[in-house]
Amino acid sequence: MAGSRDFDELLAILDLRQSDDATYVGSHPSKNPVRTFGGQMMAQAFVAASRSLNHPTLPSAMSAHFIAGGDPEKDLEFHVVRLRDERRFANRRVDVMQDGALLTTAMVSFLAGGRSLEHGIEPPPVSGPLEVPPVDDLLRGYEDVVPHFVNALRPIDWRYTNDPTWVMRSKGETLTHNRVWMKALGELPDDPVLHAAALIYSSDTTVLDSIITTHGLSWGFDRIFAVTTNHSVWFHRPVRFDDWVLYSTSSPVAADSRGLSTGHYFDAAGQPIASVVQEGIVKYFPAR
């Protein structure tokens, strides 16, 4: 199955090679966009930071700034700077390099905080993951509209609880949010680093959609240029990404050719497990 092969490729690109004490090397999968997928770079940078820890600790936050695009035909180098290393707290900076050029710089924090005050927002009311179709069903008939989605690496089972952009657009509707069930298309190893990395990888999908669906637009149908400038993830609880999680996103603001999107991940019990904020350059060119 294609999904199973894509899942194996995700595991392969997260299996970084260590070339020296502070440098890790990562490859690309067989299916790529024109430039390296940002979620891939972030997930690999997170793995590099995590593998460099003296005392394995759960992540608390990651923030990445994208500076230049990567060439999918060449490996990526992840240069890890050890900023702080304690038993319960650590910080890393990871610079993603290719041919001597800086593509992305990321800050990763790790913290074993223990129990204290707890509260959280409630998940939105949505249908369950087995009550909505997989994304392959929603792409059928739209192969010529969104070929970049049809031909993309899909190691994750996406299940929209609302119409995705291209279906919404064909109905002439608008939508101020997107809510998607997700889980890996295979059983992940019992390694918290890989579960968190898979969530980071997935967090760069669907998150910008609400910027354009708020205006009734869609990838493929409309002339839209979009590129991520920065992306942050906060972890609230340990992640199991081979179980269903709900990714609920919306866009609070778009201005000056930039759009901001926010999102929350919930586990199947409704607990918030991670929060996301992403900013992108988003330009719309109306047909004349």
Mean pLDDT of all residues in 116-127: 94
What are phi and psi for residue 227, nearest 5 degrees? -150, 135
% of the chain exceeding 90 in pLDDT: 94
Answer yes or no: is pLDDT of 288 > 80.
Answer: no
In this predicted structure, the answer to whether residue 1 has a pLDDT above a threshold of 60 is: no
- In this prediction, residue 114 has a pLDDT band, given cuts at 50, 70 and 90, of confident
177-191 pLDDT per residue, tens: 999 999 999 999 999
Torsion angles phi and psi, residue 47, rounded to 5:
-60, -45
Q: What does the pLDDT read at residue 120?
A: 93
Give start and end residues of each alpha helix (H) in the chain.
2-14, 38-51, 135-139, 147-150, 165-170, 192-203, 209-213
pLDDT digits (tens, 9 = 90+) for 59-112: 999 999 999 999 999 999 999 999 999 889 999 999 999 999 999 999 999 998
- Residue indicated by tokens 């607990």: 271
132-142: per-residue pLDDT in tens? 999 999 999 99
Mean pLDDT of the chain: 95
3-class secondary-structure state, position 52: coil
pLDDT digits (tens, 9 = 90+) for 230-245: 999 999 999 999 999 9
Does this model's pTM top 0.85? yes
Phi/psi for 178 (5° steps) reads -135, 135
Give pLDDT, residue 194. 98
Residue 189 has what DSSP assignment?
P
* Confidence (pLDDT) at 77: 98
Report how far apart the first and last C-alpha atoms of the chain are (Å, whole number).
43
Residues in the chain: 288
Residue 2: the pLDDT is 60
Q: Where are the domains of the chain?
A: 2-113+128-284
Q: Which CATH class is domain 2-113+128-284?
A: mainly beta
Residues 21-61: pLDDT tens digits? 999 999 999 999 999 999 999 999 999 999 999 988 999 99
